Amino acid sequence: MSKQETKVNKIRDFHHESIANREEFWRREAERIHWDEPFTRVLDDSRPPFARWYVGGRTNLCYNAVDRWLPQYADRAALVWVSTEVDQERVYTRRQLYDEVNAAAAMLRGLGVERGDRVLLYMPMVPEAVFTMLACARIGAVHSVVFGGFASVNLAQRIDDAAPKVVVSADGGSRAGKVQAYKPLLDKALGLCAKPPQSVVIFDRGLAPFEAVAGRDLDYAELRREHWGRQVPIAWLESSEPSYVLYTSGTTGRPKGVQRDTGGYAVALAASMEYVFGGKPGDTYFCTSDIGWVVGHSYIVYGPLIAGQTTVLYEGTPVRPDGAILWQLVERFRVNALFSSPTAVRVLKRQDPALLKRHDLSSLHTVYLAGEPLDEPTARWLSDGLGKPVIDNYWQTESGWPILSAQPGVERTPARFGSPSFPTYGFDVRVVSETTGEDLPAGQKGVVAIVPPLPPGAMSTIWGDDARFVQTYFTSIPGRQYYSTFDWGRVDADGYWFILGRTDDVINVAGHRLGTREIEESISSHAGVAECAVVGVADELKGQVAMAFVVLKQAAPVDDPDAARALEGDIMRLVEQQLGAVARPALVRFVGALPKTRSGKVLRRAIVAVCEKRDPGDLTTIEDPSALEQIKESLQ
């Protein structure tokens, strides 16, 4: 047996233990956190597909993230905040974080927030957002964070669904140097709500002037001064009590609130910081996500702090003031692990590659990427440029932490670019047939599904709607009550997994079913391509045809029709060579940017609608509306 096979087998054995000896495995992992009262049962899955972890145990996320580490790390940095938007920095020690969280908790208690009440956050990437999240956890309130700047109608839906007693917001945020006023959006949303909250707390950054509503709006700074120095006792929650509700991006109709538990989530994150991210107490962890998304919840706020690490909170873009800003921060704060997204890296691919080597990255052991499928050319470009391992991991808002990933804390396995490696311990993942529900052998494409019970840290239900939880996630696999990820996948002969796109992003060309992900992977392998999106567009003859929209590393050919046509031909031939003639796009168009949500997901349905000359519908989550206009113009 080769050394590589030995390493892979160690990961497989570790995963097998987590499934075959599930309760013993998770009993051991539970020792990573503090329990005020021990649990009486590791798992109650008597009502499938629901699962309750660590039944009867009492714990608290804030205690494990803040108080628990005070004796050891009181004077060590816990939270580092850097904003290249407003050119400010603040560093909070564990003791200072404790004081700020207690003040915020006292503020909420003073406003009548009690255990089980909801608090909705509509905040930019500022420390006060982290303080408030941890304060909610401290007193047993359920927080729901909505991405700052989210549109009023969608914000109102989330407020009505969560029914918060208090909303905490700010005057505004900033993105790429442009201020966005939050308060007018919030005021409009509250005007649309059936039952608006009693109180609104505003953190005034001095970015956007606003009018306070008498009797409702309160100033964060004044409340902080009033409650400074208070010490608020911990609310010890039963493990299955909810910690937060997070609404999934891109939902249509009634919002879908992913509900997370307390004890299982704490254990899952604590374990992942070692097994998946190779970390230890005292490390510095930098996640470039936003607190409005699940990655920000798990790996900006809770995961690093629960693991006794310093967490970096960054307000800014990967290219401001220049394309080396992330690496500058790694050098300055001696970051050990960086977690970002393929979208961010594709943006960096358009910068001078010399920027990757400008700074001292000796502290950095690994770069992690997630949020969307990572294509091989992008992963290889980053790994070669930095001289560091790049690990792709695959997960969802619903899972709370990675479903598929290399696990260097268990064993460092060889990377296979374009693959998120292997199933993570605790997730019994299968590739199944969409028509029969049967497990498929290596090499065959099917639906990525998870056999329940879902592991600790995964969603426990949909907020206020158990029936919808079952109907949405556990009824689409024929004959099996499996959780569907709604993603296509396959496993190669060596056990490496590949995600091939959404099950609803399938192109049916003259009876041939093609995943957009496969075509995108082929196009992205072209040396001149920075990123691309492939969509299926209705065609009278073939049912559907593939159309590709490409962002180039160098935009010059776009301005030269002959060069553009030649490049289009090159890309079409490349796809034909790699995937066959049936996969060749009907057309390739070059644009300066792809239309995306603020979380970096490409708005493929909107692109399809534009191609088919239909109304693109709800675009409240779009980052840059001009990107969709470029799609329209390219088709003309």
Distance CA 369, CA 624 (A): 23
In a domain? residue 545: yes
Quick one: pLDDT at residue 250? 38
Chain centre distance of CA 524? 23
pLDDT value of residue 251: 35
Is the model's pLDDT at 2 over the cut of 80? no
Strand order in the sheet with 429-432: 429-432, 446-450, 483-491, 497-502
Please, what is the Cα angle at 505 between 610 and 150, to 5 degrees?
65
Confidence (pLDDT) at 556:
55
Determine which of 79-88, 219-228, 328-337, 573-582 has the lowest per-residue pLDDT on average: 573-582
Residues in contact with 477: Cβ distance below 8 Å, sequence separation at least 6, in sequence order: 432, 434, 437, 447, 449, 484
Q: Which of 483, 502, 521 is the last residue of a domain?
A: 502
530 and 452 in a common domain: no
Q: Minimum mean pLDDT among 361-365, 511-515, 607-611: which range?
A: 511-515
- Same domain? For 484 and 552 the reply is no
Same domain as 596, residue 629: yes
User: How many distinct structural domains can be found in the chain?
Assistant: 2
pLDDT tier at 137 (50, 70, 90 boundaries)?
very high
Same domain? 631 vs 511: yes
pLDDT of residue 510 exceeding 80, the answer is no
324 domain residue, yes or no: no
Residue 150's pLDDT band, with cuts at 50, 70 and 90, is: confident
CATH code of the domain covering residue 432: 2.30.38.10
Report in angstroms the alpha-carbon separations of 271 from 26, 29, 265, 281, 476.
Answer: 10, 7, 10, 12, 31
> Is pLDDT above 70 for 244?
yes
pLDDT at 478 over 70: yes
Task: Compare 527 and 130 and report the one with higher pLDDT.
Answer: 130
pLDDT attached to residue 636: 83
pLDDT per residue as tens digits for the range 302-319: 999 999 999 999 999 999
Same structural domain for residues 522 and 612? yes
In this structure, how many other beta carbons lie within 10 angstroms of the beta carbon of residue 568?
A: 18
Check whether residue 492 and residue 446 sit in a common domain: yes
Residue at which a domain ends, from 502, 521, 542: 502
Q: What is the pLDDT of residues 375-389, one digit of tens each?
A: 888 899 999 999 999
CATH number at residue 571: 3.30.300.30
Q: Do 472 and 552 fall into the same domain?
A: no
Shared domain for 554 and 452, answered yes or no, is: no
Q: Which residue has the tokens 């420390």?
A: 127
Residues 482 and 601 both lie in one domain: no
- The mean pLDDT of 103-122, rounded to a whole number, is 98
Residue 438 included in any domain: yes
By residue range, what is the domain housing residue 453?
Answer: 428-502
Contact 423, 464 (CB under 8 A): no
Per-residue confidence band for 1, with pLDDT thresholds at 50, 70 and 90: low
pLDDT band at 8 (very low <50, low <70, confident <90, very high): confident
pLDDT reported for residue 253? 52
User: For the chain, what is the total number of helices (H) and then of strands (E)?
Assistant: 20, 31
- Report yes or no on 136 lying in a domain: no
pLDDT of amino acid 252: 40
Q: Which pLDDT belongs to residue 505?
A: 67
pLDDT of residue 193: 96
Establish if 330 belongs to a structural domain. no
Let me know if residue 57 belongs to a domain: no
Final residue in a domain of this structure, among 502, 525, 543: 502
Residue 617 lies in a domain: yes
Once rounded to an integer, what is the mean pLDDT over residues 176-203?
95
Q: What percent of the chain has pLDDT over 90?
A: 78
Residues contacting 122, CB < 8 A, separation 6+: 146, 148, 150, 155, 167, 168, 169, 170, 182, 186
Residue 524 lies in a domain: yes
